Amino acid sequence: MAAAGGKTYSFKVVLLGEGCVGKTSLVLRYCENKFNDKHITTLQASFLTKKLNITGKRVNLAIWDTAGQERFHALGPIYYRDSNGALLVYDVTDEDSFQKVKNWVKELRKMLGNEICLCIVGNKIDLEKDRHVSVEEAEGYAESVGAKHYHTSAKLNKGIEELFLDLCKRTLFLNAVYTVSLSVFHNTTGFMINQNCVFQSATWHCSFTHKQLIMFSVVL
């Protein structure tokens, strides 16, 4: 891209997950570095923004909290429309909340395809002794749907910074791949197939470094 140096990327990330899994704590910890603070000056924790700089690229991250109650589940599409990433949060001590995450993944993949960067987040790892969702199961599932799995604790401020940084990198990469594949495969009959192929690899090989992946996508 020509304006790669000066351009500011704006990414929208939705927080999905059952109520009480700690969505709000997670994002408050990340944006304000606060947890259960009595002197909180923030008026609300449902829409927060964070400015990042990733290898010279400026990113404005807008984090949209969603209502987790079951009765609002049907409103999901209105929230996650046009989002670049989704954080699917579950509580490691709550098997049910993990099931909810699986439902969300199915829905997101169905509605948005592979254009969205999925992060499955097991929160509350400070309660390790009460864990009800095994690490293997969660990570295995994440890999099977082309998502990445993270462990966090909003209380102990563990894994959160890494989570969001990784999310941004992957979103940037997806963005680049999407642009490149558009220019490469545009007007060819194989567009859809190729596009899918690139996206699949994009989501499944997120352990590559950002630079490698960009090169990889250019080669494609």
Partner 1 sequence: MSQRSERRGIHVDQSELLCKKGCGYYGNAAWQGLCSKCWREEYQKARQRQIQEDWALAEKLQREEEAAYVSSHSSSQTQPPQSQSQQSLATFSKFEEKKTNEKTRKVTTVKKFFSPSSRTAPKKVPPEKESEKEEKLQGRRESHGENLLRDLKGIFTQPWEMASPTEESHEGKTPSPSITRQSSIETDRVSRDFVEFLKTLQKLGRDIHKQSRGFIESMGNKNDLSAEELSECVQDFYQGMSDRLMNHFKGSSEKVDRVMDQVEKYIMTRLYKSVFCPETSDDEKKDLATQHRIRALHWVTIQMLCVPVDEEIPEVSDSVVKAITDIIEMDSKRVPRDKLACITSCSKHIFNAIRITKNEPASADDFLPTLIYIVLKANPPRLQSNIQYITRFCNPSRLMTGEDGYYFTNLCCAVAFIEKLDAQSLNLSPEDFEHYMSGQASPRQQDDPAAWPQSGSRVNPALSQIHHNLKLLSNLEKRQQEVTEGAQNLQTELSEWQDSVAREVQEILERYPLEIKPRASAIDAENVENDRLPPPLQPQVFAG
Residues found near partner 1 in the complex (CB under 8 A): 3, 6-8, 10, 12, 15, 19, 23-24, 28, 38, 40, 42-47, 49, 60, 62, 64-69, 71-72, 74-75, 78-79, 82
Q: What distance in Å separates the CA atoms of residue 137 and residue 211, rounded to the nearest whole number?
A: 31
Closer to partner 1 by Cβ: residue 27 or 198: 27
**Nearest distance in Å: CB 180, partner 1:** 21
Q: Which of 103, 194 has the CB closer to partner 1?
A: 103
- CB-nearer residue toward partner 1: 174 or 206: 174
Cβ within 8 Å of residue 193, ≥6 positions away: none
For the bound state, the minimum distance from the C-beta of residue 71 to partner 1, rounded and expressed in Å, comes to 4
Rounded Cα distance, 22 and 45, in Å = 12
CA distance 172 to 187: 24
Instruction: Please state the closest distance from residue 130 (CB atom) to partner 1, in A.
Output: 22
Nearer of residues 78 and 219 to partner 1, judged by Cβ? 78
The CB-of-200 to partner 1 minimum distance in angstroms stands at: 26
CB 124 within 8 A of CB 155: yes
Residue 90 near residue 98 (C-beta atoms within 8 A):
yes
**163: its two tokens:** 């989570």
